[in-house]
Every structure is written in C-alpha cells, then in structure tokens.
Structure 1
Amino acid sequence: MIAVQGVTGKTIGVLGLGRSGLATVAALKDGGAHVIVWDDSPTAADTANGAGVDLRDLTKEGAFEGVDALITSPGIPHLYPEPHPAIEAALRVGVPVDNDIGLFFRSFATQDWDNFDTMPKVIAVTGSNGKSTTSALIHHILEEAGRPAQLAGNIGRGVLDLDPAHDGEVVVLELSSYQTELARALTPDVTVLTNLSPDHLDRHAGFGGYVAAKRRLFAEGGPDRAVVGVDEVEGRYFANQLTEGPGDDRVIRVSSGQKLDRAPWSVFARKGFLSEYRKGRQVASIDLRKIAGLPGAHNHQNACAAYAACRAIGLGPRVIETALHSFAGLPHRSQLIAEKNGVRFVNDSKATNVDSAAKALAAFDNIRWICGGLEKEGGLDALLPAPSVRKAYVIGREAAAFAMKLKGLDVEVCTDMATAVSRAAEDAQSGDTVLLAPAAASFDQYDSFEKRGDDFIAQVSGL
C-alpha cells in the first residue's frame, strides 16, 4: 500500500466505495488521516463499516464542515454532464477535489529512496484504444528483462494499492481520461499516448474536452520522455508542443503505417516490421508478423509504443524483441478463443467504440462479425464499407436499429449472444473468423465488456 503523505490529522472525504475508493480509504488511514465516506449505493453503510470509517452524506447542507479535501472515484462526474451533488457541494465551499491518481503522484516518492542505487520510475500510458494492451506489454517486457515492475491504474490494481517502490523498480500505470482530467499531481517519468479518437464525449463536453483531459498528462506532467502516437493530428500536435527544436529527441514519435525516418527518434511499423530510427538512421528492426499475441496493425502500433517506452528507460532492442514473442495478449482484446475446422473464434469485446472495432476488422479476413450493443455518439459510418466482413450478426436491445445502419452489409438480427454465435458458426467456412467486435458499449445487456466477452467465450465453448 502507498501511504498518502501530507494528510496526518486532516479530515478527508472519499466519494465512491468501489475498488479505487476502498484502496484510497486504506491509504489515507495509513497516512494518518481521519476519513469520512459517501456512496450512493444502498449498501454503503455496510461497506463503510467494513472499512472502519464514518459514513456521512456529503450531499447535505453543512456536510463539508471541517473537511480538508474530497477524493472522488474516477467514474463519478465532477464537471460534465453535471457534477455529482457531493462534488458540487465541495466546489461551492472551496474544499479541494482530487482523485487517487493525484494522491499517488504526491506520495509515491519517500525518504527511503535516498538509499536506492537506481531511482524508481513511473511510465504512464493513456490513449483511446490500445492502452491496456500497451501497459500490459510494457509490464511484461520489464518482467522478462528482470526489472522489478508493478502494473496498476485502469488495469489490475488501484494505484494506492501498490507496494512501496523497490530499488530500480518501474511502475506502469494505465490512465483513462477520467483519471488524468482531475488529478492535481501528474509527474510520470515517461508518458505514452497510443492514439486518439472520439470517446466519452458526454463526460468531457465534446472531443475538445476529451483531448484536453489527455493532454494534461503530457503538458502538466513534465515527463523526461514522451512516446506519442502521431497517426492523428492531435498526436502530432502533442508531439509538437513537447518538442523544443528539430534535434530534440525527448519525444519518441510512433506510427502504424507511416515511415518516420526524419524525426530525431521514432518507432514505426510497416508491412509487419517494427523499425527504430534515431537521427535518420535505422538502429533496430523486429518482424512482428510471427508474434501470435499481437495480431493486426493496431497491435503492431501497441508494440511500437511499448517498445519505445522500454527503450526510453534503457532496455536493449534484442531484450525487448525476445519478450514480445512470449506475450500472450490480454483477455477480450483480439483474444483467440478456439479454432475448429479451419474457423477461428476471436473475442475483442473491448472494441467498445467505432475506431477500435475498425482496427479489429482490419486485422482479419473473411469475418463473421458479431456486433451491436449500446451505440455511442458519432454513428457507424466509419466502419463501412468493411470489405473483410462476410456477414454481420447483430446483438443488443436495439439490434434492429443498429443493423439498419450497417448499409451494404449482409446483416442478420440476432439480439442475444447465444443466437449470434450459433448462427455465425453455422454459416462459417474454413478460413473464416468469427469475430466479436461490438463497436458499442455493453451496458444494455451486460454489466461490463468483460461480462460480454465471457458470454461469447461460454457460447463458443458450448458449440
């Protein structure tokens, strides 16, 4: 656990008692704070009692009397579409609002570090798509290279649930826009931007607000190195903002498809090969086509970002290449579930938006596409004409409406996962891929994209 510093004797409110909220409560108590909590859940009293803290309705008049700060869970809106009533109350009376990411960055370094030979480092990864795979891949490479490492944030453990740092350790954090937007302290050593596409627009009042939330990690974090995907104009803008001049190699530009041989330092993938260039000269190359855990151009982009981050902290190209080959991939992200009679079944339930679904569709040929769910803003036009799709099998409560937007495709309305998997398997021929890449959120039928992917796995296993 990371004990929060600077809170001894203070009264700190915690809003939200999920995974990160409970870890925050424990870390604040360990730091000497008096903690009060509030959660809208009807089981909040039992949860608070189990955590050994006081429950106080922070939405009521006068609830912030004597409270020094409010720490909110990332999923709770603090600005758009409108602040949670407890946060609105804190804003009105001037109580500082922060989150666990801010607490982590101001508490991670301790006096024990004075005795370390090698200072610990933090690599922070953000982006619209691929950040979980990139974060897990960086962590995997570090472990395979023998470097002590921990993985946390939007993947795995809560940041304050991490163990105190060891000599030379590297902490890899996956950070969402919800986390970067509010954190009062952001000081990673290396930052990574995978890519940017419209997402969470209601939470950020549009794409501009979403981009600004991501940008805070780079502009306010002051990293020693920044790994930036430059396939979108926003990424090129980020890289430009962080660069002092043509020879500045503190920014490592990353691309999937573009040859970046003029930048001071770049890593890119073309035709299945990763290339690293420094000052106009190629210094390393890796054949990504044989790496089973990283299929498709989108995963090649993730490999480039992870490679660049590990190079930024001094790992050698051959060490990284060896580790790439042993990476098994993440559940629900281009995950090969089964192969029978020449038909592959692939679970990419994490493809919750149009951009990530498009990348999944581009990674395979002859696709029997299972899609649908709670559609996000922006429509589905960016997915079309989808030449690799032989037929779409649509699930979700609004499956018929979703199907009507897939113009030019052979479409079957299935509504539920069991029907979609059964029909796709019946139609599939040798060489086809039955791909779950919903291009939509899961909440119309499932609690999470993980639950949706688990259902797909169960239906495939039952064939």
Structure 2
Amino acid sequence: MIPVQGMAGQHVAVLGLGRSGLSAAQALQAGGAVPVCWDDNPAARERAGAEGLACRDLSKAGAFEDVAALIVSPGIPHLYPAPNPVVAAALAAGVPVDNDIGLFFRSFATPDWDGFDTAPRVVAVTGSNGKSTTSALIHHILTAAGRPAQLAGNIGRGVLDIDPAVDGEVVVLELSSYQTELARALTPDIAVFTNLSPDHLDRHGGIGGYFAAKRRLFAEGGPDRAVIGIDEPEGGYLAGQLSEGPADDRVIRVSVTRKPGGPGWRVFARKGFLAEYRRGRQVVSIDLRAIAGLPGAHNHQNACAAFAVCRALGLAPRAIETALHSYPGLPHRSQIVAQAGGVTYVNDSKATNVDSAVKALSAFARIRWICGGLQKEGGLSGLAGATDRVVRAYVIGREAAGFALQVDADRVVCGTMAEAVAQAMRDAEPGDTVLLAPAAASFDQYDNFEQRGDDFAAEVRKGLAGQGALPPPR
C-alpha cells in the first residue's frame, strides 16, 4: 500500500466505496488521515465498516464542515451530465475534490528513495483504445527484461494498493479519462497517448471535453518524455504542443498509417514491420506479423507505443523484440480462446465502441462477427466500409433487431450469446474467424464486458465439446 502523505490528522471524505474508494480510504488511514466514507449502497458501507472505516452520510447538511478534501471514485460525475449532489455540496462548501490518482502522485515518492541507485519511474498510459494492452505490454517487456515493475490503475491493482517502490522500479499505470480529468496531481515520468475516438461524450460534455480530460496528463505536470499516437488530429496537435522543434526527442511520435516526417524520434509500423527512426535514420526494424498476442494494425500501434516507452527507459531493441514474442495477450482483447477445424475463435469483448470494433474487424480475413449490445452515442455510422471482411454478422442484445438494421453485411438476429455462437459455429468454414467484437456496451445483458467475454468463451467451449473437438467442461 502507498500511505497518503500530507493529510495526517485531517478528515478526508471518500465518496464511492468500490475498489478505488476502499483502497483510497485505507491509504488515507495508513498515512494518518481520518477517512469518512459514504456510498449509496448499504452493502458497500457494510464492507467499509468491516474494514474499520467510519461512514458518514455526505448528502446531509453540514457534512463537510470539518472535511479537508473529498476523494471521488471514477464512476461518479462531478460536472457532466450533472454533478453528483455530494460533489456539488463539497464544491459549494469550498472543499477541494480529488481522486486516488491525485493522491498517488502526491504520495508515491518517499525519503527512502534517497538511498536508491536509480530513482523509480512512473509510466502513465491514456487514450480511447489500446491503453490496457499497451500498459500490460510495457509491464510484460520490463518484467521479461529483468526490470522490477508493477501494473496498476484502470488495470490490475488500484494505484494505492501497489507496494512501495524498490530501487529502479517502473510503475505502469493505465488511466482512463475519468481518472485524468479530476486528479489534482499528474506527474508521470513518461506519458503515453494512444489515440482518440468518440467515447464517454455525455460524461465530458462532448469530444472537446473528452480530449481535454486526456490532455491533462501531459499539461498538468509535464512528463519528461511523451509518446504520442498521431494518427488522429488530436494526437498530432498534442505532439505539436509538447515539442519545442522538429528534432525535439522528448516527444516520440507513433503511427500505423504513415511514416512520420521530420528528424525527431519516430516509431511506426507499416505492413507488419515496426521501425524506429532517430535523427532521420532508421535504427531498428522488427517483424510483428508472427506475434500471436498482437494481431492486426491496432495491436501494432500498441506495440509501437510500448516499444517507444521501453526504449526511452533504456532497454535494448532486441530485448524488447524477444519479449514481444512471449506476450500472451490480455483477456477480452483479441484473445484467441480456441482453434478447431481450421476455425479461430477470438474474444474481443473489450471492443465496446465502434472504433475499437473497426480495428478488430481489420485484423482477420474471413469473419463471422458477433456484435450488438447497448449502443453508444453516434450509433454505428463509423462502421461504414469496415465490414468488407464480414461473411456474416450474428447480432445479440436486447435491441438486436434495431442494431442489425445498421449493419452493412449479411446478418442474422440471434438475441443471445448462446444462439449467436451456435449459429456461427454451424456456418463457419476452415479459414474463418468467429469474432466477438460487439461495438457496444454490455449492460443490456451483462454486468460488464468481462462477463460478456467469459460467456462467449464458455459457449465456444460448450459447442466444441459437443462436436468432440474439446473435452466436455467439468
């Protein structure tokens, strides 16, 4: 645990008692603060009480009279589409609002570091798509190369749950826009921007607010080095803002659509080959095509970003290349769950928006596409021209019929995952990929995208067992 510094003896309110809220309260307590906690869910309050944490109804008048700060969990809105009443009350009382990310950055460094040969570093990764894979890949490469590393944030452990740093350690954080928009301290050593596509627009008041939330990671503290995906206008703009000139190698530009120009530090992938250029000369080339854990151009972008970070941390190119080949991939992100009869079954349940689904669809040749769910703002207009490789779409979800009307491919309305997988398996031929890439949220039928992906994998195993291709599940 990372004890929170600078708040000893102060009452600090904590709103929301999920994973991040509980760990924030415990870290505050470990640092000598007095956390006062609240969650609308009685079960969450009971869990907090069992952990020895005091609860107080923060919605009542006068609740903030003795409170020095309010720590808010990521899912609780503080501005758009409307502030949570408790957040509004704190702001009206003049109480500063922060989150666990802000607490982490103010508390991570300790006097123990004075005795280290190499100061610990923090790498923070944000963006619309690919940030989980990029973060996990950086962590994997570092670990494979023998560097001490921890993975936390929006993936793995909560930021305040990690262990205190050891000599030379690197902490890799995946940060969502919900986390970056509110943190009062954001001071990573290396910051990564993967890409931008419309998402969470109601929470951020539109695409401009969404980009502004991501941009805070680079603007608030000023990282020593920035790795920027420049395939969207926002990334190009951000790289331009951070750079002092064309040869400024504090900004590493990443692309999978073109070879970036200029004499600066560039990492890009074309036709499955990663290339690193410095001072106008190519210094590295890596063939990504045979890396099973990183299929498709979108994963090649993730590989470029992870490569750039690890090079900035001093790793040799061949050590990075070796580690790339052993990367197993993340669950629910282009995850191969089975191969049988010449058919590959891929779980990309994390493809919860149109842009991520388009990238998944570009990674395979002949696709039996399982899609559908709770549509996000903007519908499926971004799918135009992206379904050329789809042999047939199998639509699930509560509004499957309406979703199917927007799919420009042969399609069948299935409704449930069980029916979609069964029909896709009956139709599939050798060389096909049965791909779950929903292009929608999961909440109409599942608690989260992980549960949806697990259901897909279970139905695939059940179907293959019925064909005699796998032993029956126990």
Which band: TM-score by shorter chain?
over 0.9
Q: Contact 1:261 / 1:281 at 8 angstroms: preserved in 2?
A: no
Residue 221 of structure 2 corresponds to 221
Paired with 1:307 and 1:75, the residues of 2 have a C-alpha distance of 31
Superposed displacement of residue 247, structure 1: 1.7
- Give 1:287-302 correspondences, 5 Å limit: 287-302=287-302
Superposed displacement of residue 323, structure 1: 0.4
Residue 322 of structure 1 corresponds to 322
SS class of match (2:75): coil
Residue 178 of structure 1 corresponds to 178
**2:403 counterpart of 1:402:** yes
**2:265 counterpart of 1:268:** no
SS class of match (2:152): strand
Paired with 1:275 and 1:437, the residues of 2 have a C-alpha distance of 29
Tell me which amino acid in the other structure corresponds to 1:406: V
Tell me which amino acid in the other structure corresponds to 2:257: G
Tell me which amino acid in the other structure corresponds to 1:247: A
Tell me which amino acid in the other structure corresponds to 1:142: L
Residue 139 of structure 1 corresponds to 139
**2:8 counterpart of 1:8:** yes
Superposed displacement of residue 260, structure 1: 2.1
The TM-score, its normalising length taken from structure 1, stands at 0.99
Tell me which amino acid in the other structure corresponds to 1:28: L
Paired with 1:250 and 1:44, the residues of 2 have a C-alpha distance of 44
Residue 420 of structure 2 corresponds to 420
Tell me which amino acid in the other structure corresponds to 1:446: Y
Q: Deviations over 1:233-266 (max 9, x none)?
A: 0000000000011221100000012112524100
Q: Deviations over 1:260-288 (max 9, x none)?
A: 25241000000000000001000001000
Q: Deviations over 1:91-113 (max 9, x none)?
A: 10000100000000000000001
Q: Contact 2:376 / 2:440 at 8 angstroms: preserved in 1?
A: yes
Tell me which amino acid in the other structure corresponds to 1:394: V
Residue 354 of structure 2 corresponds to 354
Residue 62 of structure 2 corresponds to 62
Paired with 1:240 and 1:267, the residues of 2 have a C-alpha distance of 16
- Give 1:253-264 correspondences, 5 Å limit: 253-264=253-264
Paired with 2:13 and 2:122, the residues of 1 have a C-alpha distance of 27
Residue 159 of structure 1 corresponds to 159
- Give 1:271-282 correspondences, 5 Å limit: 271-282=271-282
Residue 234 of structure 2 corresponds to 234
SS class of match (1:150): strand
Q: Contact 2:18 / 2:44 at 8 angstroms: preserved in 1?
A: no
Paired with 2:263 and 2:177, the residues of 1 have a C-alpha distance of 28
Residue 113 of structure 1 corresponds to 113
- Give 1:373-412 correspondences, 5 Å limit: 373-385=373-385, 386-407=387-408, 409-412=409-412
Aligned length: 462
Q: Deviations over 1:149-175 (max 9, x none)?
A: 000000000000010010000000000
SS class of match (2:25): helix
- Give 1:62-141 correspondences, 5 Å limit: 62-141=62-141
Q: Contact 1:261 / 1:277 at 8 angstroms: preserved in 2?
A: no
Paired with 1:209 and 1:242, the residues of 2 have a C-alpha distance of 19
Paired with 1:243 and 1:365, the residues of 2 have a C-alpha distance of 39
Q: Contact 2:247 / 2:265 at 8 angstroms: preserved in 1?
A: no
Paired with 2:224 and 2:83, the residues of 1 have a C-alpha distance of 34
Paired with 1:153 and 1:234, the residues of 2 have a C-alpha distance of 24
Paired with 1:417 and 1:432, the residues of 2 have a C-alpha distance of 19
Paired with 1:374 and 1:167, the residues of 2 have a C-alpha distance of 46
SS class of match (1:65): coil
Q: Percent identity?
A: 72
**2:438 counterpart of 1:448:** no
Residue 429 of structure 1 corresponds to 429
Structure 2: give runs of 5+ residues left out of the alignment: 464-474
- Give 1:34-73 correspondences, 5 Å limit: 34-73=34-73
SS class of match (1:379): coil
Tell me which amino acid in the other structure corresponds to 2:239: A
Paired with 2:45 and 2:82, the residues of 1 have a C-alpha distance of 25
Paired with 1:119 and 1:10, the residues of 2 have a C-alpha distance of 30
Q: Contact 2:246 / 2:262 at 8 angstroms: preserved in 1?
A: no
Q: Contact 2:247 / 2:262 at 8 angstroms: preserved in 1?
A: no
Superposed displacement of residue 365, structure 1: 1.0
Superposed displacement of residue 35, structure 1: 1.0
Range with greater deviation from structure 2 (384-393 or 155-164): 384-393
- What do you get for the CA RMSD once the two structures are aligned? 0.8
Structure 1: give runs of 5+ residues left out of the alignment: none
Superposed displacement of residue 445, structure 1: 0.4
